[in-house]
Amino acid sequence: MNRALDVTAAGAGLALASPVLAAAAIAIKLDDGGPVFYRQCRVGLHGREFALLKLRTMEVGAETRGAGLAVNERDPRITRVGRVLRRLSVDELPQLWNVVRGDMSLIGPRPTLAYQVARYTPRQRRRLDVKPGITGWAQIHGRARLPWDERIELDVWYVEHRSPWLDLRILARTPRALFAGTYKGESGGWRA
């Protein structure tokens, strides 16, 4: 039932967001002429890797310059258009396609990079027991402001307590977290 809800909601979300995605794609192309989308290998359910899809918000080849995979809020590699897309979380909309494909769910721990997963403790590996999500328990509790271990602990708590009621609470609180500015930012992780 969860999969059917994911596909239905993500499909509807893609249809509704298509004008925004089209406008963002044009803006990205006009800004620097580079590719519109950015794909990055992330770790999902049971440690399986998949290609996470995002709108590109950084200069082409940014991961090979500066801080490499680490990105902070004022990173000079972020493009002008990218700053706006990040602020509004529009760069995340293509992940609805990851949900339709079955790589992700609407709700769950954010997918992380392989080098981060390699550092997990056995308890932290519990977050791989569910599909990663577009939004989750850690996101609505101030992800950008929280230390890494605290974010992971919130995700593990979600895995241990997840229920339809908890998922509804997360969905209801995501817009507030998004517009309050607590949602964005994944320090320690690459956000292209």
Hey, how many other C-beta atoms are within 10 angstroms of the C-beta on 96?
24
pLDDT, position 181: 56
Nearest to 50 by CA among 42, 38, 39, 60: 42
Do residues 92 and 192 lie in contact, with contact meaning Cβ atoms separated by under 8 Å? no
Q: Give tens-digit pLDDT for 108-124.
A: 999 999 999 999 999 99
Lowest mean pLDDT across 32-41, 75-84, 143-152, 183-192? 183-192
CA distance 156 to 126: 6
Query: Tokens 């002429």 correspond to what residue?
Result: 33
Residue 10: both structure tokens together: 């993500």
* SS3 track for 119-157: CCCCCHHHHHHCCCEEECCCHHHCHHHCCHHHHHHHHHH
CA distance 174 to 83: 20
Query: Tokens 């969905």 correspond to what residue?
Result: 171
CA distance 181 to 192: 19
Q: What is the mean pLDDT of residues 39-67?
A: 90
Lowest mean pLDDT across 30-39, 40-49, 72-81, 98-107? 72-81
Q: Which phi and psi angles does 92 have, rounded to 5°? A: -85, -15
Strands 133-135 and 49-55: unpaired
Amino acid at position 74, single letter: R
The structure's pTM equals 0.86
User: CA end-to-end span of the chain, whole Å?
Assistant: 32
Domain extents for the chain?
A: 2-179
pLDDT, position 187: 37
